[in-house]
Amino acid sequence: MIEKTYLKTKPECKVKFALPADALNGAKNVALVGDFNNWDETATLMRKQKTGVFASTINLEKDKQYQFRYLVDGTTWVNDESADAYIPSPVSHDQNCVIDI
């Protein structure tokens, strides 16, 4: 699930990324990895909510497109069903999620 809130005072959008617990099969750690953090698997760790959902909120520059994926427990890549689009990954046979801001 992706929620976008455009800021009135800055050329940015506050974006909340969330993965439901039922999509994670008892995951311990989930990282949000993408263009915005140079695909650093440790830069944006998601927090587990009381509901079991893993979530993270970041600010992204407006009028740009970003690629991203979720990394579950350091081994399993997961896409977001609510992404704006999908494009082939340059490093594997998978597809990356795309978000338009």
Q: What is the pLDDT of residue 54?
A: 95
Structural domain containing residue 13: 2-100
Q: How many domains does the chain have?
A: 1
Q: Give the CATH number, domain containing residue 87.
A: 2.60.40.10
Beta strand ranges found along the chain (DSSP E)? 2-6, 12-19, 30-34, 47-48, 54-61, 65-72, 76-78, 85-88, 95-100
Q: What is the pLDDT of residue 20?
A: 86
Report pTM.
Answer: 0.93
- Walk along the chain (101 residues) and give the pLDDT tens digit of each residue: 999 999 999 999 999 999 987 777 788 999 999 999 999 999 999 999 998 899 999 999 999 999 999 999 999 999 999 999 999 988 888 999 999 99
Q: Pick from 97, 76, 74, 78: which is nearest to 87 by CA?
A: 97
Q: 2 and 82 in contact (C-beta within 8 Å)?
A: yes
